[in-house]
Amino acid sequence: MNERIKEEPLLAVNNLSVSFTTDEGRFTAADDICMKIGRGESVGLVGESGCGKSVTALALTRLIPSPPGCIESGQVYFEGVDLMTRDASEMRKIRGNAISMIFQEPLSALSPLHRIGRQLVEALLLHRRMAKRDAWQYAEKWLRKVGIPDAAERMYNYPYQLSGGMQQRVMIAMALMLEPALVIADEPTTALDVTTQAQIFGLLQDMKHNFGSLLLITHDMGVVWEMCERVIVMYASRIVESASREAVFAHPAHPYTIGLLQAIPRLSRGRKRLNDIPGQVPSPFDYPRGCHFQARCPHAFDRCRRETPPLFDCGGGQKAACFLLEEKAGGDC
């Protein structure tokens, strides 16, 4: 593991739960989330669509729209301070400065109405004591750093004048230029073609020394292998496994993680074969009592339908929420 990771985690999340109330009723989108991210650590957050990855990421920086959302409980300690106790103006200072977010859709972070240079400079002036001219030069330097050709001219462009890949690079420059302690990247390349995706991940790798830790949300286990040291797997609102990248790929512990890895396309006799996990994710309005994975799990037994499995400690930093692991594990955590 990276030497920069110190004992004290950069981020420690305890029992974080988020609900939404809609016309159809109330449901829990993130249920009792506990996680830690060390200093300098890159963590991948994976799981099928709708399992609560984005909701968890938004809750960390208190960006859950309320209503319809509500952070029901939990603490989010960032550098030892519980963000849940900070007021709105303190949160604005933390966001974009100490914690940056990179979204799937660049136009959710960039205003279509203002030139790129102005937007970058405004972000710098908000968080740094800088003369405007220095901020302009610094922003232009960052556009060059993220591989934007003719950076000086691009500063005068509106976002719509750039390709999707270039917009994404501008958003990455905006997210990284303040050298945040934590970057949360939520499917940062999903809207892009495969070649541009690879370029953007290469860029994030190269930029790693410009930020501290990374929480990368993705569907792509290949990207997790390339980018992350640790993996957190979510299923139907809960964390079901957390382990080092090596452990997850070599000996996944939770039946869902095993299924997820088997679902990765493999080359078989020259053809791509995709093994889906049988069954469907339950609706959040109908999460069953007990283990949420029970309807799709080939090993489910009575207890799984009655009790919620806690995360059991499987050793070597691997934890998984499955009763099958109880005997082998040293206890729940």
Ligand X SMILES: Nc1ncnc2c1ncn2[C@@H]1O[C@H](COP(=O)(O)OP(=O)(O)OP(=O)(O)O)[C@@H](O)[C@H]1O
Rounded to a whole number of angstroms, the CA Rg of the chain reads 21
- One residue of 148, 291, 314, 329 binding ligand SF4 per CB under 6 A: 291
By a kind-dependent CB cut-off of 5 to 8 A, residue 324 interacts, out of Mg ion, ligand SF4, ligand X, none, with: ligand SF4
- Closer of 238 and 319 to ligand X (Cβ): 238
Question: Smallest distance, Å, CB 315 to ligand X?
Answer: 28
Cα atoms found within 13 Å of the Cα of residue 204, Cβ hemisphere only = 30
Q: Which residues contact 51 (CB under 8 A, 6 or more apart)?
A: 234, 235, 236, 237, 281
**Which of 158, 199, 294, 313 forms a contact with ligand SF4 (CB under 6 A)?**
294
Binds ligand X by CB under 6 A, chosen from 211, 284, 304, 325: 284
**Which residues in 90-99 are b (16+ Cβ under 10 Å) and which e?**
eeeebbbbbb
What does 50 interact with, of ligand SF4, Mg ion, ligand X, none (CB < 5 to 8 A by kind)? ligand X
Q: Is 217 exposed, middle or buried (0-12, 13-18, 19+ CB in 10 A)?
A: buried
**Smallest distance, Å, CB 52 to ligand SF4?**
17
54 touching Mg ion, by CB under 5 A? yes
Name which of ligand X, Mg ion, ligand SF4, none residue 255 binds, using a CB cut-off of 5 to 8 Å depending on partner kind: ligand SF4
Asked if residue 20 binds ligand X (CB under 6 A), the reply is yes
DSSP per residue, 183-199: EEEESTTTTS-HHHHHH
How far is residue 147's CA from residue 156's CA, in Å, rounded to a whole number? 16
Please say which residue, 108 or 280, places its beta carbon nearer to ligand SF4.
Answer: 280
Question: What is the separation of C-alpha 40 from the centre of its chain, rounded to a whole number of angstroms?
Answer: 15
- For the beta sheet containing 230-235, the strands, ordered from the edge strand earlier in sequence to the opposite edge, are 99-102, 182-186, 213-217, 42-46, 230-235, 238-244, 318-320, 312-315
Say whether residue 323 binds ligand SF4 (CB under 6 A).
Answer: yes
* Stretch in the footprint of ligand SF4 (CB under 6 A) among 29-37, 65-73, 131-139, 287-295: 287-295
Q: Which of 47, 255, 259, 284 binds ligand SF4 (CB under 6 A)?
A: 255
With contacts defined by CB under 5 A, name the span among 51-59, 123-131, 190-198, 295-303 that binds Mg ion.
51-59
Query: Which residues, other chains included, contact 159 with Cβ-Cβ below 8 Å and sequence gap of 6+?
Result: 106, 107, 110, 111, 112, 116, 167, 170
Q: Which of 173, 228, 304, 329 binds ligand SF4 (CB under 6 A)?
A: 304
In a 3-state reduction of DSSP, which class is residue 32? strand
The residue among 99 and 321 lying less far from ligand SF4, judged by its C-beta, is: 321
* Pairing assessment for the beta strands 25-37 and 11-22 based on DSSP bridges: antiparallel
Tokens 């790693």, residue located:
208
Which string of b and e fits 54-83 if b means at least 16 CB within 10 Å?
bbbbbbbbbbbeeeebbbeebebbbbeeeb
Is 200 a binding residue for ligand SF4 by CB under 6 A? The answer is: no
Shortest approach of ligand SF4 to residue 51 CB, angstroms? 14
Which positions from 54 to 83 touch ligand X by CB under 6 A, shown as an x/- string? xx---------x--xx--------------
Q: How far is the CB of 172 from ligand SF4 (least distance, A)?
A: 37
Residues that bind ligand SF4 (CB under 6 A): 255, 291, 293-294, 297, 299-300, 304, 309, 322-324
The footprint of ligand X (CB under 6 A) covers: 20, 22, 29, 47, 49-55, 65, 68-69, 284
